Amino acid sequence: SATKENMQFQTEVNQLLHLMIHSLYSNKEIFLRELISNGSDACDKLRFEAIGNDSLYENDGDLRVEVEFDSTAGTITVRDNGIGMSRDEVVNNIGTIAKSGTKEFLSKLTGDQQKDSHLIGQFGVGFYSSFIVADKVTLTTRRAGTAASEAVRWESDAQSGYSLEQVEKATRGTEIVLHLKEDEKLLADGWRLRNIIRQYSDHIPLPVMMHKQEEGKQAEEWETVNKANALWTRSKSDVKDEEYQEFYKHVSHDWEDALAWSHNRVEGKYEYTSLLYLPSKAPFDLFDRDTNHGLKLYVQRVFIMEDKENKLLPRYLRFVRGVLDSADLPLNVSREILQGNKIIESMKSGSVKKILGLLENMSANEPEKYQSFWKEFGKVLKEGPGEDFGNREEIAKLLRFSSTLDDNAEQKVSLPDYIARMKEGQDKIFYITADTHTAAKNSPHLEVFRKKGIEVLLLSDRVDEWLVQHLMEFDGKSLQSVAKGDLDLSKLETEEDKKEQEKVEAEAKNMVEHIKKALTDKVEDVKVSHRLTSSPSCIILGEHDMALYMQNLLKQAGH
Ligand code: ADP
Ligand code: MG
């Protein structure tokens, strides 16, 4: 029964659509890049599913994206013969936003078009960008392997929800018809569309085809409009920066430029190519475990899978985007085989080295750029020493901290910088952890250090407690919390300091005994402290006690 149903968009979709239409106007041509990118992803997915089930090709293995236009009707059609969608998939992918954190994301929007358009960039625009230029969109799709009568038609004007209808579609895949807004009808033009495709989709490794243009008319015959080669197979010297950037936007689903990249052909025990990108902006869901895109794995230029489970890179590098193309893996490789596979392990460790090398170079030669990287991804990189023991020295060099040097909240101090400034006789790297930067820099534990001019790192990111548990030392110097255990600053003290301290201890002896009695059940010991210069007292944790901060966290979590 072919009944048409009217459905409502999820509230978030309505908000997003409204924004899309009003904020992205100056960048409207990207709608085509997004649709072509989706078509290409759909073909990749088909290829992956067809590995175990050849019949999904339905005798048409010639994967491609087609773009057609009708200037009289004012329509543009984008068609692919990829995986297609079932009815449920249409409802879930186009009509809902499954990404968790969407609500918070939308609540950050300001109404300022300039600012919002950058935020939307971090969110990813995708399919909905169609509505920048169209006032009605019709999507017809059939999932590979289902009957011709099982196809679905989705239609919306972005104002009043959408309709769904079961229809016939002979071929698998997805066809999207954009009914252009009155003042966008000039986009339905062969020359303009070719330009947009070449500008934004040249290096989609899949042919994007249009009808040949003959005497101002569209001929029956098709031609490939983009280069359609795998960019990463070309030699570095032949690829322009703009080409790298354009390919980045496809693989990353990002729409801002990449910050940097590393392109390598590796010929050792195993042969592979890697093209690894660092984004300029963190995606809004960087800390969401499930929704990240990962590297794309190819075998001899054939797409295998997108690594959403961090098999190709460790978690602390989950912001890296790009491609690994192996010459050695079998084409019918499955997810299961990838687990613990030697070739995968070798590509993984090689890629980690490349990324850490890229970052090290940047920090040495382009410190400002590195600082902007750190602001976006520093918190993630701090997971590194705990996750990747073998590379912890390299990672540690890349870390940046706030310190008592200037008390600035911006994290700029590296461990080598700190060590270079250490006092004569100082053999430890001192730090304090707290749950805010303000709490850290105002801690009474710092008084004696400030007095003596000894720098202390101020740690207040959530991940810092985890970091210092795993990074016990750097360059032979141990990391020491100023809030834990006995502080032995004796090497840094003059004879005069020591005499003064002994005098104070003798004078305070009676008072200490008195306080000890009063607090018998509450504390282990009471000592005269030389940590403080103006606060009367503070609590010190035993060397192996968890920092107060962790204790608080556990308490909050109900332990
Ligand atoms: P993204 O590509 O970043 O996931 P989009 O908004 O572009 O976001 O697309 C949302 C989802 O809709 C995709 O993840 C995919 O599941 C589905 N989709 C969109 N276009 C197609 C298509 N041409 N073929 C199959 N599925 C599609
Ligand atoms: Mg997309």
Complex ipTM, two decimals?
A: 0.99
CA angle, residues 152, 157, 163, in degrees to nearest 5: 30
Residue owning the nearest CA to atom 17 of ligand 1? 93
Residue 124 annotated as lining a ligand binding site:
yes
In DSSP terms, 210 is beta-bridged to: 223
* CA 28–ligand 2 middle distance (angstroms): 15
More confident residue, 530 or 29: 29
Which residue intervals of 366-391 are DSSP H helices?
367-381, 384-387
What is the best residue among 10, 34, 37, 38 to mutate for testing ligand 1's pocket, by most ligand atoms within 8 Å of CB? Answer: 38
* CA 127–ligand 1 middle distance (angstroms): 7
Residue owning the nearest CA to atom 14 of ligand 1? 93
Q: Which helix (H) or strand (E) holds 152?
A: strand 151-156
End-to-end CA distance of the chain: 56
* CA 347–ligand 2 middle distance (angstroms): 27
* CA 287–ligand 2 middle distance (angstroms): 20
Q: Give the nearest ligand 1 atom to 94 CA.
A: 12
Predicted local distance difference test score (pLDDT) of residue 366? 97
* CA 392–ligand 1 middle distance (angstroms): 38
Tokens of 158: 């972005």
User: Can you count the helices (H) and strands (E) in the chain?
Assistant: 18, 19
Contacts 24+ apart (CB under 8 A), 101-110: 101/284, 101/285, 101/288, 102/12, 103/12, 105/284, 106/12, 106/15, 106/16, 109/19
What is the best residue among 10, 78, 93 to mutate for testing ligand 1's pocket, by most ligand atoms within 8 Å of CB? Answer: 93
- Mean pLDDT rounded to a whole number for the chain: 88
Residue owning the nearest CA to atom 6 of ligand 1? 126
Confirm if 440 and 408 have CB atoms less than 8 A apart: no
* CA 204–ligand 1 middle distance (angstroms): 16
Query: pLDDT tier at 226 (50, 70, 90 boundaries)?
Result: very high
Predicted local distance difference test score (pLDDT) of residue 490? 61
- Residue whose C-alpha is closest to residue 540's, from 499, 487, 501: 487
Predicted local distance difference test score (pLDDT) of residue 286? 80
Q: Give the nearest ligand 1 atom to 34 CA.
A: 7
Residue owning the nearest CA to atom 4 of ligand 1? 126
Q: How far apart are CA 445 and CA 432, in angstroms?
A: 8
Q: Which residues have C-beta atoms less than 6 Å from ligand 1?
A: 34, 38-39, 42, 80, 82-85, 93-94, 124, 126-127, 174, 253
Residue 195 annotated as lining a ligand binding site:
no
Nearest 5°: phi and psi at 79? Answer: -130, 140
Amino acid at 404: T
Tens of pLDDT, residue by residue over 346-378, are 999 999 999 999 999 999 999 999 999 999 999
Query: Which residues are within 8 A (CB) of 314 and not within 5 positions of it... i.e. 6 or more apart?
Result: 348, 352, 384, 387, 388
Q: Which helix (H) or strand (E) holds 65?
A: strand 65-70
Tokens of 85: 């969608």
**Residue 2 scores a pLDDT above 80:** no
Nearest 5°: phi and psi at 509? Answer: -50, -50
Q: What is the dihedral of CA 470, 476, 480, 485, to 10 degrees?
A: 100
Q: Model pTM?
A: 0.78
Question: Beta-strand (E) ranges in 157-270?
Answer: 162-167, 173-180, 208-214, 217-224, 258-267
Which stretch of 100-104, 213-217, 269-273, 282-286 has the lowest confidence by average pLDDT?
Answer: 100-104
Over residues 277-299, the mean pLDDT reads 82
**Residue 473 scores a pLDDT above 90:** yes
Confirm if 123 and 62 have CB atoms less than 8 A apart: no
What per-residue string of b and e applies to 23-45 under the rule 16 or more CB within 10 Å gives b?
bbeeeebbbbbbbbbbbbbbbbb
More confident residue, 102 or 290: 102
Predicted local distance difference test score (pLDDT) of residue 254? 84
Predicted local distance difference test score (pLDDT) of residue 85? 97
Predicted local distance difference test score (pLDDT) of residue 522? 74
Output the 3-class SS for 217-247.
Answer: EEEEEEEECCCCCCHHHCCHHHCCHHHHHHH
Predicted local distance difference test score (pLDDT) of residue 187? 96
Predicted local distance difference test score (pLDDT) of residue 486? 64
**Residue 312 scores a pLDDT above 70:** yes
Q: How far apart are CA 398 and CA 391, in angstroms?
A: 11
Tens of pLDDT, residue by residue over 406-453, are 999 999 999 999 999 999 889 999 999 999 999 999 999 999 899 989
**Length of the chain, please?**
559
Output the 3-class SS for 88-102.
Answer: HHHHHHCCCCCCCCH
Residue 126 annotated as lining a ligand binding site:
yes
* CA 298–ligand 2 middle distance (angstroms): 19
Amino acid at 536: P
Query: pLDDT tier at 27 (50, 70, 90 boundaries)?
Result: confident
Q: Under DSSP, is residue 362 helix (H, G, I), strand (E, B) or coil?
A: helix
Over residues 67-77, the mean pLDDT reads 97
Q: How far apart are CA 472 and CA 477, in angstroms?
A: 9
* CA 58–ligand 1 middle distance (angstroms): 22
Q: Give the nearest ligand 1 atom to 78 CA.
A: 23
What is the best residue among 13, 41, 177, 291 to mutate for testing ligand 1's pocket, by most ligand atoms within 8 Å of CB? Answer: 41
What per-residue string of b and e applies to 355-367 under the rule 16 or more CB within 10 Å gives b?
bbebbeebbeeee
Residue 173 annotated as lining a ligand binding site:
no
Predicted local distance difference test score (pLDDT) of residue 259? 98
Count of Cβ atoms closer than 10 Å to residue 406 Cβ: 11
* 208-214 and 65-70 strand pairing: parallel
Ligand nearest to the Cα of 93, by number: 1
Tokens of 236: 């570095």
Confirm if 531 and 445 have CB atoms less than 8 A apart: yes
Confirm if 197 and 207 have CB atoms less than 8 A apart: no
Q: Give the nearest ligand 1 atom to 82 CA.
A: 24
More confident residue, 114 or 143: 143
Query: Which residues are within 8 A (CB) of 490 and not within 5 positions of it... i.e. 6 or more apart?
Result: 498
